[in-house]
Amino acid sequence: MTETGLGHSLPRKAAGPGWVARLALSPAFHRLCARIPGLRHIARSEGDALFEVVSGFVRSQCLLALVEFRVLHRLAETAEPTARLAQLAGVPVERMAVLCQAGAALKLLHRKGDLWRLTARGAAFLAVPGLEAMVRHHPVLYRDLADPVAFFRGETQPELAGFWPYVFGAGGAADPALAARYSDLMADSQGLVAEDTLRLVNFRGITHLMDVGGGTGAFLAAVGHAHPQMRRTLFDLPAVVAGARARLGPEVTIIPGSFRDQALPSGADAISLIRVLYDHADATVAALLANVRQALPPGGRVIVSEPMSGGARPDPATDVYFTVYTLAMQTGRTRSGAEIAVLLNQAGFTAVSAVRSDRPFVTSALSATVPADSVAKLSN
């Protein structure tokens, strides 16, 4: 074994790449693939996929420009020529032509004659809650990644770490404007998260659901539509829940508080944590799950829903986007379902059930149960 500069031991000789990777490293093999019809398609497909990775940042920036210039919005109303779109955006015609052509390559719009029109994908972009807000928020993340080498070495101070300071606790909680900024962005995309969570998790048998860290109540509002007889309680920081009453109405109980500093109120037979765990470090998550476990009765359930790492099967949506995003936030991390299951077991939950999501870029879900024969020490 050898020692690295960080004091970690490394094997003297690491295993080399597998045979498939060794073939892919050979220029002669690529030339052979290009000449054989059966392999030509595979080689071209892999080449396209590689260039998609290489050009990903430019694609996302073209999308941001289309959003900021409101090109998609304008085409949702009527078809427009390049010159008109350029005039409305204050962009030279030749540059707008390049942007629209890029939008067509991304299948967001298409041209018929001299007119640009919105495609089904472009229309879906405008219709999906939260996508536009996410794209307009991305420049913060992109600035943090301007020097990716320094970023991954931990030598930078990410802007995102200052964008969400309320996550750290009382400091941000005292700033209502900042809390509203966070809550609005989260609420914009909460519709899809709620839709998938309600589809993935069986809510039957739950009589009283408390949503911890539920912001302004977007998830509880969706639960109310799906299960109108269910009692609902919202628990979050005082500055965050201030805007929840108008959304939820008088039938929902709203309790301001911090799960870091106080015991969760008892009384609910299920507690939901919707996009909460990945905002926090392992120690905070362990303490929160213990707090949840203590607040639930025997047989009570906890529901966890958030984007999760692919774990042993890495997923581009979560293991590229969300893991890097949470790394920039510096407060938490994106975990796999298996990692969350371990944390749930350590907190005293059993019967952990994971449901595979067909949209991991939206959310994945786990549920677990307090053992029926347990006696939790409840505190209010």
User: What is the pLDDT, as a whole number, of residue 7?
Assistant: 44
Domain with CATH 1.10.10.10 in the chain: 55-127
Given a contact cutoff of 8 angstroms between Cβ atoms, the answer to whether 117 and 75 are in contact is yes
Please identify which residue in the block is written with the tokens 């998550």: 285
Domain with CATH 3.40.50.150 in the chain: 148-369
User: What is the pLDDT, as a whole number, of residue 42?
Assistant: 62
Instruction: Read off the pLDDT band of 380 (50, 70, 90).
Output: very low
For the whole model, what pTM was predicted? Answer: 0.80
pLDDT tens readout for residues 237-264: 887 888 788 889 889 999 999 999 899 9
- Backbone CA torsion sign across 55, 61, 67, 69: negative
Q: How far is CA 115 from CA 76, 79, 157, 161, in A?
A: 13, 6, 45, 43
pLDDT tens readout for residues 328-354: 998 899 999 999 999 999 999 999 999
Given a contact cutoff of 8 angstroms between Cβ atoms, the answer to whether 73 and 126 are in contact is yes
User: What is the pLDDT, as a whole number, of residue 136?
Assistant: 87
Q: Of 103, 21, 25, 34, nearest to 68 (Cα)?
A: 103
pLDDT tens readout for residues 128-144: 877 888 888 889 899 99
User: What is the pLDDT, as a whole number, of residue 232?
Assistant: 97
- CA–CA gap between residue 130 and residue 192 (Å, rounded): 8
Q: Of 277, 300, 284, nearest to 348 (Cα)?
A: 300
Alpha helices in 128-281 (DSSP H): 131-144, 148-153, 160-163, 170-173, 176-200, 218-226, 238-241, 245-248
pLDDT tens readout for residues 175-210: 556 555 555 666 667 788 999 999 999 999 999 999
164 phi/psi in degrees, rounded to 5:
-115, 50
Whether the per-residue pLDDT at 1 is higher than 50: the answer is no
User: What is the pLDDT, as a whole number, of residue 33?
Assistant: 65
Selected residue with higher pLDDT from 1 and 159: 159
Q: Tokens standing for 284?
A: 């905070």
Instruction: Read off the pLDDT band of 283 (50, 70, 90).
Output: very high
pLDDT tens readout for residues 47-68: 667 767 777 899 999 999 999 9
User: What is the pLDDT, as a whole number, of residue 244?
Assistant: 84
CATH topology of domain 55-127: Arc Repressor Mutant, subunit A (1.10.10)
Whether the per-residue pLDDT at 375 is higher than 80: the answer is no
148-369: which CATH architecture?
3-Layer(aba) Sandwich (3.40)
User: What is the pLDDT, as a whole number, of residue 73?
Assistant: 95
User: What is the pLDDT, as a whole number, of residue 378?
Assistant: 41
pLDDT, average across residues 9-33: 59
